[in-house]
Amino acid sequence: MGPNELLLRGRAAALGVGTAGLAEAALPGLPAFLAPRRRAETQPPLATILRDGRTSWGKGRRPARRCPAGGTVALEPLLSIAPGDWDTFVSRHPSAHLLQLSSWGTLKSQFGWTAEQVGLAQGGELVAGAQLLYRRLPAKMGCLAYVPKGPLVDWADEEQLAALLAALDRAARSRGAIALTIKPALPDEPSHRERLRALGFQPAPFSSVQPRRTLIVDIAIAKDAILAAMKSKTRYNVRLAGRKGVMVREATAADLPAFHALIGATAARDRFGVHSPAYYEAAYRLFVPQGRARLLLAEVAGEPVAAVMVFALPPRSWYFYGASGNTHREKMPTYLLQWEAIRWAKSLGCTTYDLWGVPDEEREKLEAEFTERRDELWSVYRFKRGFGGRLVRSVGAWDRVYAPLRYRLLDAGYSMLNVWRKR
Both 380 and 311 in one domain: the answer is yes
Interval 37-51 mean pLDDT: 34
User: Based on the domain organization, do 227 and 360 belong to the same domain?
Assistant: yes
Task: Give the pLDDT of residue 55.
Answer: 30
What is the pLDDT, as a whole number, of residue 72? 61
More confident residue, 140 or 241: 241
Confirm whether 2 is domain-assigned. Answer: no
Burial code of 154-189, b = ≥16 C-beta within 10 A, e = fewer? ebeeebbbbbbbbbbbbbbbeebbbbbbbbbbbeee
Examine the domain organization and report whether 232 and 377 are in the same domain: yes
Q: Convert the pLDDT of each residue in 393-411 to its tens digit.
A: 999 999 999 999 999 988 8
Asked if pLDDT for residue 115 goes beyond 70, the answer is yes
The answer, yes or no, to whether residue 263 has pLDDT greater than 90, is yes
pLDDT of residue 399: 97
Per-residue confidence (pLDDT) for residue 37, from 0 to 100:
35
Cα 79 to Cα 44, 115, 371, 378, distances in angstroms: 15, 12, 50, 41
Question: Would you state the pLDDT for residue 120?
Answer: 97
Looking at the structure, do residues 222 and 184 belong to the same domain, yes or no? no
**What is the predicted pLDDT for the residue at 140?**
85
Q: Is residue 251 part of a domain?
A: yes
* CA pair distance 12, 208, nearest whole angstrom: 10
pLDDT band at 52 (very low <50, low <70, confident <90, very high): very low
Question: What is the rounded CA–CA span in Å between residue 6 and residue 49?
Answer: 33
DSSP string for 293-350: EEEEEEEETTEEEEEEEEEEETTEEEEEEEEE-SSSGGG-HHHHHHHHHHHHHHHTT-
Answer yes or no: is pLDDT of 417 > 90. no
Both 242 and 386 in one domain: the answer is yes
Asked, as a colleague might, if the bond just before 315 is cis with ω within 30 of 0, I would say yes
* Residue 78: predicted pLDDT: 85
Percent of the chain with pLDDT strictly greater than 90: 68
- For 183-213, the pLDDT digits (tens) are 999 999 999 999 999 999 999 986 455 789 9
236 lies in a domain? Answer: yes
* pLDDT higher than 90, residue 65: no
Mean pLDDT of the chain: 84
pLDDT of residue 154: 97
User: Quick count: other Cβ atoms within 10 Å of Cβ 126?
Assistant: 20
Q: Is the pLDDT of residue 307 over 90?
A: yes
Between residues 48 and 106, which one has the greater pLDDT? 106
Q: How far is CA 48 from CA 26, 121, 167, in A?
A: 39, 14, 11
Q: Say yes or no: 299 and 360 in one domain.
A: yes
* pLDDT for res 39: 34
* pLDDT of 332: 98
What CATH number does residue 105 fall under? 3.40.630.30
Contact 275, 4 (CB under 8 A): yes
Residues 179 and 95 both lie in one domain: yes
- Whether residue 290 has pLDDT greater than 60: yes
Q: What is the pLDDT of residue 421?
A: 37
Q: What is the mean pLDDT of residues 99-128?
A: 97
- Structural domain range at position 222: 213-393
| pLDDT at residue number 270 | 85
Least confident of 18-27, 259-268, 380-389, 411-420: 18-27
Q: How many CA atoms lie within 13 A of 388 on its CB side?
A: 19
Q: How far apart are CA 141 and CA 303, in angstroms?
A: 49
Nearest Cα neighbor of 323 from 297, 302, 362, 285 is 297
pLDDT at 415: 61
User: Same structural domain for residues 206 and 259?
Assistant: no
**Residue 1: inside a domain:** no
3-state helix, strand, coil in the chain (%, to 5): 40, 20, 40
Position with higher pLDDT, 241 vs 33: 241
Stretch 243-251: mean pLDDT, rounded?
A: 99
Tell me: do 71 and 200 sit in the same domain: yes
Clarify whether residues 59 and 71 are in a common domain. Answer: yes
Asked if omega into 205 is within 30° of 0 (cis), the reply is no
What pLDDT score was predicted for residue 375? 75
Both 204 and 111 in one domain: the answer is yes
Same domain, 224 and 373: yes
| Residue 31 confidence (pLDDT) above 80 | no
Q: For the chain, how many structural domains are there in total?
A: 2
**pLDDT of the residue at 397:** 95
pLDDT of residue 206: 66
